[in-house]
Amino acid sequence: MSSRLRPLPLQELRLQPEGRTWQVDQSIDGLASLTPVRGQLHARHHGSALEVDGRAETILTLCCDRCLQNYNHSLAATARELIEIGGAEPEEEEVVFASADPVERLDPGSSFDPERWLYEQLSLQLPPVNRCGADCPGPPLPRQDGSDDRNGDPRWAALRTLR
């Protein structure tokens, strides 16, 4: 087991039948987190594919899109992915992909970057709209039932008088 997240050549990973496991307790480049990213990551070479699974969590400071105040947000990811390795030897273990077009493909002479993989998995868990919570002091949210709220956002008051 290794604690450093450095790119690992696929040829080196291929020689490890049980794969490689990383215990994660560090910051991740490109992810401005308040706490270190903590979790575990495992990668195993299957000849024509790289199987990667892991879990990680951290806390980020985000800016609310409604009131523009900063707030802390817990971020966690659990993922499993098969990454195609192009040009694999035909005598290698064959992995069948669920979809016809794998999302990602690695060159057999390249490296797997566990830090980059974790960054991508955590980034996919970021909320599309940052909201600090139900008690946000910003303008009221539109009603979920689609009804018109006459006492809504005061910035639209002048337009409501034109009705």
106 or 32, which is more confident: 32
Lookup: tokens for 127: 């909320």
Place of tokens 């639209």: 156
State yes or no: pLDDT of 118 exceeds 70: yes
Short-list 141, 152, 118, 134, CA closest to 31: 118
Determine the average pLDDT of the residues in 25-44: 93
* Helix (H/G/I), strand (E/B), else coil: 49: strand
Q: Give the whole-number percent of the chain exceeding pLDDT 90.
A: 43
Place of tokens 């979920």: 144
Tell me the residue ranges of DSSP E strands in the chain: 8-9, 20-26, 37-45, 49-63, 70-85, 105-106, 111-112
